[in-house]
Structure 1
Amino acid sequence: MLSPTFGDIKTAADRIDGLVRPLVVTAGDTDLVPGAESFLALEFLQHTGSFKARGAANLVAALVESNTMPDAGLVASTGRNADLGFVWAAGLFGVPATVFLAETAPAAMVSRLRGLGAEVRLGGATQAEAHSAARAFMNRTGAIDAYTSDETLTAAGAGTLVLEMVSAVSDLDTIVVAVGAGGMFSGVTSAADHLGIRVVGAEPEGSQALHAALAADAVLDVEVDSIAADSLGAQRIWSAALEWACLADVRSVVVGDADIIATRRLLWDRHRIIVEHGAATGLAALRAGAYQPNPGERIGFILCGANTDPADLSYTG
């Protein structure tokens, strides 16, 4: 993967303008991060419920513009939010989308994907087995793997978040972003570094691919065991994300599941915001003291997804 440049991100912003929903940014209440000024980027309001729609729209639009989209279209097989984003973006341009999921895939996910126009093929006991079927399909038909075909385009699409954040909030000092495989992190860090904004990358203690890579100065596999693994459960960080973390002197922090759970519930109980555990991870890291802001520091938090089951959230009336 090549790191997206600021120029790539500006191009992506122009390309997806009018396709994605504009970012809503709101000031956080004083109880969220005492002593600092907090701003919440409500990207969970995006199409398909997560930031993935931005990168997917940029990828599909670029391939269609360059006449390099194959007739067989896209294949997705992550079993996560990325699949929803790619299928939604494919539908915008009338591009075929085929999704391979394990037989145990949640019925709600299958229904949503089919509702967006995807052909969903169920097979295999695990998502890894479903992905093997996806590779065989790509080899046979010429369809492309949406997730890996051009990671620079998807990361650049995610980076457009920052342009909208700084348009809404002037003089941001810091942006806190949850880190999974590193696509959103790479795009956000590229844009933020160009604009002179510090980046804090937050991960669960049980899924810290970036944190471990920085300690080892190399990409390596990590064990994944976290409440937020459904969205931040990458076994290894993208190499470009590690490069950006070093280049931009990113502060990498980790936070325990208990704090992530508590922060997600706080967002609902006091603010009526429902997000995934992964989306609450950045705010949880600061509330737990993993990153100590300076007095009056102006901090933006990206609440990046809300594809979650709200049944375990307490209701306080």
Structure 2
Amino acid sequence: MNWTAEIEAAWSRIAPHVRRTPVLMGCDLGLAQPSDLKFEQMQHTGSFKPRGAFNTLLSSHVPRAGVVAASGGNHGAAVAFAAGRLGHRATIFVPEIAGPTKINLIRETGADLHVVPGAYANALEAAQAFEAQSGAMQIHAYDSIGTVAGQGSVAAEWDAQGLEADTVIIAVGGGGLVAGAMGWWAGRRKIIAVEPVTSCALHAALEAGAPVDVEVAGIAANALGAKRIGQICFDLARETGAQSVLVPDEAIAAAQSLLWRQLRQLVEPAGATALSAVMSGAYVPEPGERVAVLVCGANPAPDPLS
């Protein structure tokens, strides 16, 4: 797979439809050293997910039945938003743990929304059943070429904005975002994949030598709670040697608080997970190592302004 070409094509395809999100260079947050930050939580619907959704829709024949997606919340909102902008029907399945902020965000798009008991895996089962019954096109949250290439446009865009980091730190759920970054940089930058201790599908897969099922819990579970890492992400992690680190919920909450206190950036736990790796010491940069952190989600529960 020529991921560079796939991502370049995706970036060009989706450019009229997505925001070019801002970066903050050399940000001093009172940590060991300044870091570069990219605020992808300022993307449409509050996460990076519209990139993959738009790329999939714009590169596919969408049937009359429209599209269907299972999501912990952010992917569903992105698919619903992109489908609405492009004139397609969207049916979205989310688990109850998605929380009111994300559920309401999807509902506001006008999509046909179904809230199911359980976690993401349960929503995926329901979406697959709907796909088989209706003929709608499934847009996978993380384990498809269209999704990964679209998410990889974050990395391509960051390079174009002057990124000079040696190391990029990215949170991982099912692996679509970090897979896009690994596909784009392909060993040219070190990638640190960060997961909560309580939801660590990539870490478990790398230890086992293959994707395996994991338990899902914790404060970031509605965004990073994939039961099994995507095959694309796993293969790229093995090929590129991406490093996996784990962080506890307390570190994630502390990073979430720091982003608000220092930068007035209100993010959900998943959006702060990458930063928590540096704050907690789960990843310790070498002296002089230039580090960049991707902030990726802005839909905390409950909605602070509801």
Q: Does the pair score TM above 0.5? A: yes
AA partner of residue 19 (structure 2): R
Deviation at 1:19, TM superposition (A): 0.6
Residues 1:161 and 2:161 are matched in the alignment = no
Secondary structure in 2 matching 1:246? helix
AA partner of residue 260 (structure 2): W
Q: 1:246 to 1:108 in 2, by over 3 A?
A: closer
Residues 1:302 and 2:300 are matched in the alignment = no
Based on CA coordinates, which of the two structures has the bigger radius of gyration?
1
Secondary structure in 2 matching 1:76? strand
* Residue in structure 2 matched with residue 95 of structure 1 by the alignment: 88
* Residue in structure 1 matched with residue 226 of structure 2 by the alignment: 234
Residues 1:7 and 2:2 are matched in the alignment = no
Which whole-Å CA distance do the structure 1 matches of 2:217 and 2:152 have between them? 28
Deviation at 1:220, TM superposition (A): 0.8
Deviates more, 1:96-105 or 1:157-166: 96-105
Deviation at 1:102, TM superposition (A): 5.4
Please tell me whether the aligned partners of residues 143 and 233 of structure 2 are also in contact (alpha carbons under 8 angstroms): no
Which whole-Å CA distance do the structure 2 matches of 1:309 and 1:302 have between them? 20
Please tell me whether the aligned partners of residues 4 and 155 of structure 1 are also in contact (alpha carbons under 8 angstroms): no
Which whole-Å CA distance do the structure 1 matches of 2:131 and 2:199 have between them? 30
* Residue in structure 2 matched with residue 44 of structure 1 by the alignment: 41
Residue of 136, 141, 144 corresponding to 2:134: 141
User: What are the superposed Cα offsets for residues 114-150 of structure 1, whole Å, 9 maximum, x if unpaired?
Assistant: 321212245x544555554433332232102212697
* Residue in structure 2 matched with residue 192 of structure 1 by the alignment: 185
Which whole-Å CA distance do the structure 2 matches of 1:90 and 1:163 have between them? 24
* Residue in structure 2 matched with residue 62 of structure 1 by the alignment: 59
Deviation at 1:111, TM superposition (A): 3.4
Residues 1:212 and 2:209 are matched in the alignment = no
AA partner of residue 231 (structure 1): A
User: What are the superposed Cα offsets for residues 79-114 of structure 1, whole Å, 9 maximum, x if unpaired?
Assistant: 421100101111121011112345786454443223
User: What are the superposed Cα offsets for residues 18-73 of structure 1, whole Å, 9 maximum, x if unpaired?
Assistant: 110002101253235323x411100000001000011001011111xxxx211101
Residues 1:177 and 2:170 are matched in the alignment = yes
Please tell me whether the aligned partners of residues 59 and 150 of structure 1 are also in contact (alpha carbons under 8 angstroms): no
Q: 1:311 to 1:156 in 2, by over 3 A?
A: closer
How many residue pairs match? The answer is 304
Q: 1:111 to 1:309 in 2, by over 3 A?
A: closer
Secondary structure in 1 matching 2:195? strand
* Residue in structure 2 matched with residue 315 of structure 1 by the alignment: none
AA partner of residue 138 (structure 1): E
* Residue in structure 1 matched with residue 14 of structure 2 by the alignment: 16
Percent identity reads 38
- Indicate the RMSD between aligned Cα atoms, in angstroms: 2.3
Gaps of 5+ in 2: none
Q: 1:27 to 1:130 in 2, by over 3 A?
A: closer
Return the TM-score normalized by structure 2.
Answer: 0.91
Please tell me whether the aligned partners of residues 48 and 85 of structure 1 are also in contact (alpha carbons under 8 angstroms): yes
Residues 1:75 and 2:68 are matched in the alignment = yes
Return the TM-score normalized by structure 1.
Answer: 0.88
Which whole-Å CA distance do the structure 1 matches of 2:214 and 2:196 have between them? 12
User: What are the superposed Cα offsets for residues 193-239 of structure 1, whole Å, 9 maximum, x if unpaired?
Assistant: 26x11111011111111111111211111112221111111111112
Deviates more, 1:7-16 or 1:141-150: 141-150
Secondary structure in 1 matching 2:29? coil
